[in-house]
Amino acid sequence: MKHFYIIVLLFISSVSFGQTSQNKGDIDGFSMYPNPVTQARVYITTTANGPKEIMIYDVLGTLVLKTTILGRELNLEDLDAGVYVLRVIEKDKMATRKLIVK
């Protein structure tokens, strides 16, 4: 039985390492503020400050917002209060953060 658990552990760790190696890395200079969001606007800055593809998921993993911003301001007035997952893609890099909307 011990061998079975070791095999399962090795399989899970190899899958997780395989997924992280495909990611080109976190976005350089990524900053998001304010968090928690109280005024329906969040500011996302990076070193490159290029166009950013934004995807916001609720706690169940459902995509609730998908947009592209050219500047740094993201309007969240259509979101209800709650906890979300924010995914930002800029060029070939990605950052994922927890987002709280009050």
User: pLDDT, tens digit, for every residue of 86-98?
Assistant: 999 999 999 999 9
Please tell me whether the overall predicted TM-score, pTM, comes out greater than 0.85 for this model: no
CATH number, domain containing residue 59 = 2.60.40.3080
Instruction: Tally the C-alpha atoms within 13 A of residue 80's C-alpha that lie toward its C-beta.
Output: 4
DSSP 1-60: -HHHHHHHHHHHHHHHHHHHHHS--PPTT-EEE-SSBSSSEEEEE-SS---EEEEEE-TT
Is 3 a residue whose pLDDT tops 80? no
Cβ-based neighbours of 21, under 8 Å, separated by 6 or more: none
**Count of domains forming the chain:** 1
Host domain of residue 83: 25-101
Contact 53, 91 (CB under 8 A): no
User: pLDDT, tens digit, for every residue of 6-50?
Assistant: 554 555 655 444 444 344 579 999 999 999 999 999 999 999 999
- 10, part of any domain: no
**Structure token pair of residue 16:** 């997780």
